[in-house]
C-alpha cells in the first residue's frame, strides 16, 4: 500500500483528497502548511507527495527544495498557479509533475500512479559505462568519480529511456509519454528543465553536452 502526503492550506481540498485517496487504498497523511509537511515527510517517509505551492509560512517551492535535500520521493504539484514561469520554478526545484487547479480526480490519480511507477525497480540487469560515469539500469543508480549521483525519480526515468535507446533519436513526444504518461504531448518545457538538471549532474561540460545530445526541434539522443 502506497503512502501519500497531501499538503494544502485549503481544508476542503485536504478533506476531499484524503477521502478519495483512502477509498482507493492509499495510506494518507495530511498537512496544512510547509512546516508540517516537512515534519510529516521526515517521520513517515511517504511514497509520493501532492503539494500546493501557495502555502502559509514556507512556500511550496521551498518545501520542494527542503524535501530534495534528503529525499527522492516523487512530488506532484497541485496549484492554482498556471503560468509557465511557476511551473518551471517548481520543476527546477525538484518537482516531478504539475497539475493545475481546478483539477479532475481521475487525472490526479493517473498522475500519482505514473509518479509511483517511475520509482518501480527495473528487473533486467544492465551496466552502461562511459568515460565519465557508470549507469546501473538494474539498481537505478549512477556513479561518477566513484560516488553515487543523486537523481530524482523523473531525472532517472529520463536517463533510462535515453540509455535504453542508446545512439537513437528519441522524439520529444515519445520522451514525454514514456516519462510522464500518455496524456502528455506539448509540455516540452518539462524536457528542457529536466535535461538541464541531468546534464548538470552528469556531463563534464553541461553547456557542451557530450552524452545527452539535443536534436533541435526533434528530440534527444544518448551517445556513450
CATH of the domain at 54: 3.40.50.2300
Q: Give yes or no for a contact between 218 and 172, defined as CB atoms under 8 angstroms apart.
A: yes
* Residue 30: inside a domain: yes
**Of the candidates 117, 152, 170, which is a domain's last residue?**
117
Answer whether residue 74 is part of any domain. Answer: yes
Assign residue 154 a region: left if phi > 0, alpha if psi is -120 to 50, beta otherwise? alpha
Last residue of a domain, one of 117, 145, 175: 117
Radius of gyration of the chain (CA): 18
Is 122 contained in some domain? no
Is residue 34 situated within a structural domain? yes
Predicted TM-score (pTM) of this structure: 0.66
Q: What are phi and psi of 180, to 5 degrees?
A: -105, -25
Residue-by-residue pLDDT tens, the chain, 224 positions: 799 999 999 999 999 999 999 999 999 999 999 999 999 999 999 999 999 999 998 999 999 999 988 888 999 999 988 888 888 889 988 898 999 888 889 989 998 988 887 765 444 446 899 999 999 987 889 999 989 999 999 999 999 999 988 888 888 988 998 888 877 878 889 999 999 999 999 999 999 999 999 988 889 999 88
Contact 111, 76 (CB under 8 A): yes
DSSP H helices in 98-223 = 105-117, 153-164, 172-179, 188-202
Domain boundary among 87, 117, 147: 117
- Tell me the residue range of the domain where 107 lies: 3-117
Amino acid at each position: 500500500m502506497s503512502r501519500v502526503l497531501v499538503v494544502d492550506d485549503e481544508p476542503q481540498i485536504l478533506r476531499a483528497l484524503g477521502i478519495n485517496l483512502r477509498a482507493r487504498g492509499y495510506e494518507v497523511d495530511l498537512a496544512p502548511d510547509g512546516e508540517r509537511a516537512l515534519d510529516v515527510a521526515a517521520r513517515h517517509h511517504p511514497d509520493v507527495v501532492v503539494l500546493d505551492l501557495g502555502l502559509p509560512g514556507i512556500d511550496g517551492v521551498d518545501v520542494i527544495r527542503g524535501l530534495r535535500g534528503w529525499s527522492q520521493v516523487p512530488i506532484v504539484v497541485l496549484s492554482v498557479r498556471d503560468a509557465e514561469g511557476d511551473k518551471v520554478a517548481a520543476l527546477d526545484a525538484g518537482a516531478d509533475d504539475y497539475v493545475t487547479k481546478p483539477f479532475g480526480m481521475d487525472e490526479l490519480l493517473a498522475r500519482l500512479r505514473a509518479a509511483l511507477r517511475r520509482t518501480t525497480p527495473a528487473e533486467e540487469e544492465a551496466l552502461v559505462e562511459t568515460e565519465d560515469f557508470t549507469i546501473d539500469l538494474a539498481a537505478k543508480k549512477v556513479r561518477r568519480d566513484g560516488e553515487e549521483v543523486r537523481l530524482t525519480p523523473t531525472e532517472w526515468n529520463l536517463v533510462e529511456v535515453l540509455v535504453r535507446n542508446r545512439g537513437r533519436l528519441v522524439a520529444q513526444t515519445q520522451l514525454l509519454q514514456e516519462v510522464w504518461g500518455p496524456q502528455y504531448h506539448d509540455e516540452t518545457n518539462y524536457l528542457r528543465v529536466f535535461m538541464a538538471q541531468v546534464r548538470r549532474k552528469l556531463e563534464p561540460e553541461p553547456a557542451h553536452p557530450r552524452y545527452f545530445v539535443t536534436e533541435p526541434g526533434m528530440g534527444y539522443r544518448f551517445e556513450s
